[in-house]
Amino acid sequence: MKVVNLKDVQKSEQNVDGGNWVSRRLIVKDDNMGYSVHDTVIKAGTETHIWYQNHLESVYCIEGEGEVVTLKDNKVWPIKKDTLYALNENDEHYLRAKTDMRMVCVFNPPIKGTEVHDENGVYPVAED
């Protein structure tokens, strides 16, 4: 059994500030769950280019409002509280926050917990 408190994560290296966002990584690769879980705040008025080439991600919005724009078709997906979106095709996208957005994110495979996006919006694969 593992119990994780957000306040404890916020005081650790698993509290990562990516500029447009702050991600608190609650479950990471070393927890051996096969996925990672993040509590992430996307800052109001920001646009972030993301392309998880190495990961699948599901994102559940629990606060705020914004949109996702998928680059392959330039489709705009409104996102607000109680909405989940899944990047089930490693979708390259922009995430735009109209207000601060609080998201619960699940990654497969899991990340190590300290990653930030590279110049292409990608997280590296966590090596064993």
State the average pLDDT over residues 31-37: 97
Domain count, the chain: 1
Which stretches of 1-128 are DSSP H helices?
Answer: 6-10
Residue 126 has pLDDT above 80, yes or no: no
Please give the pLDDT value at position 128: 61
Residue 76 has pLDDT above 90, yes or no: yes
| Residue 57 resides in a domain | yes
| Residue 121 resides in a domain | no
Q: What angle do CA 120, 126, 128 make, to 5 degrees?
A: 155
- Say which CATH number the domain at 63 has: 2.60.120.10
Q: Cβ(6)–Cβ(102) under 8 Å?
A: no
Closest CA to 111 of 121, 101, 123: 123
| Residue 9 resides in a domain | no
State the average pLDDT over residues 33-57: 96
| Residue 2 resides in a domain | no
pLDDT class for 105, splitting at 50, 70, 90? Answer: very high
| Residue 125 resides in a domain | no
- Residues of the domain holding 34: 14-108
State the average pLDDT over residues 108-123: 86
pLDDT class for 89, splitting at 50, 70, 90? Answer: very high
